[in-house]
Amino acid sequence: MKADFDLDEVESSLIQLVKEAGIILRRYFESGGFTQRQKAGVDFTTQADCEVDQFLKDKLAKKYPNSNFLTEESAPADYASLADKGNLWVIDPLDGTINFSRKHSNFAISIALMDHGHTRFGVVYLPAENKLYFARSDKDAAYLNGEKISCSSTAALRETVVACDWAWDLDKRKTLVAWLGRLSGHIRQIKSMGSAASDLCSLAAGKIDVYIHSGLKPWDAAAAGLIIKKAGGVVTLPDGSPWSPFQPGILASNKKLHHRIIRLVSPQSTATKVMKSRIVASVIIEKDGKILLGRKKPGTFPYPNCWIIIGGGVRLEKETVEEGLRREVREEANIEIADLKKLEFAEDNEPNKHGEMTHYLFLTYLARYQSGTPTPGDDVNELRWFSKQELKTIKISRPSIIRFKQLGWL
For every one of its 410 residues, what pLDDT tens digit does the chain have, with 9 covering 90 and above?
Answer: 334 468 999 999 999 999 999 999 999 999 887 777 776 565 678 899 999 999 999 999 999 988 999 999 889 989 988 998 989 999 999 999 999 999 999 999 999 999 988 999 999 999 999 999 999 998 989 999 999 999 999 989 999 999 999 988 888 899 999 999 999 999 999 999 999 999 999 999 999 999 999 999 999 999 999 999 999 999 999 999 889 999 999 999 998 899 899 999 987 765 555 456 777 889 999 999 999 999 987 767 777 778 999 988 888 778 888 898 999 999 999 999 999 998 877 666 666 666 565 767 778 999 999 999 999 998 899 999 999 999 999 989 878 887 888 888 98
Q: What pLDDT was estimated at residue 2?
A: 39
Q: Beta strand pairing status for 357-371 and 336-351?
A: antiparallel
Q: What pLDDT was estimated at residue 327?
A: 92
For residues 325 and 311, give the distance between their C-alpha atoms in angstroms, rounded to a whole number: 6
Cα-Cα-Cα-Cα torsion 184, 218, 16, 149, nearest 10 degrees, comes to: 30
Q: What pLDDT was estimated at residue 5?
A: 66
CA distances from 49 to 197, 199, 232 (A): 15, 19, 31
Query: What would the DSSP string read from start to end of 338-386?
Result: EEEEEEEEEEEEEE-TTS-EEEEEEEEEEEEEEES-----TTEEEEEEE
Q: What pLDDT was estimated at residue 3?
A: 44
Over its C-alpha atoms, the chain yields an Rg (Å, rounded) of: 22
Residue 95's closest CA among 227, 257, 271, 223? 223
Q: What are phi and psi of 15, to 5 degrees?
A: -65, -40
Pick the CATH number of 276-406 from 3.40.605.10, 2.70.70.10, 3.90.79.10, 3.30.428.10: 3.90.79.10
Q: Beta strand pairing status for 161-164 and 210-213?
A: parallel
Q: What pLDDT was estimated at residue 168?
A: 82
Q: What pLDDT was estimated at residue 28?
A: 92
Residue 14's closest CA among 83, 84, 64, 49? 64
Residue 204's closest CA among 225, 180, 183, 188? 225
Residues of the chain with CATH 3.30.540.10: 7-145
Report the top-level CATH class of 157-274: alpha beta
- The CATH T-level fold of domain 7-145 is Fructose-1,6-Bisphosphatase; Chain A, domain 1 (3.30.540)
Q: What pLDDT was estimated at residue 332?
A: 93
Residues of the chain with CATH 3.90.79.10: 276-406
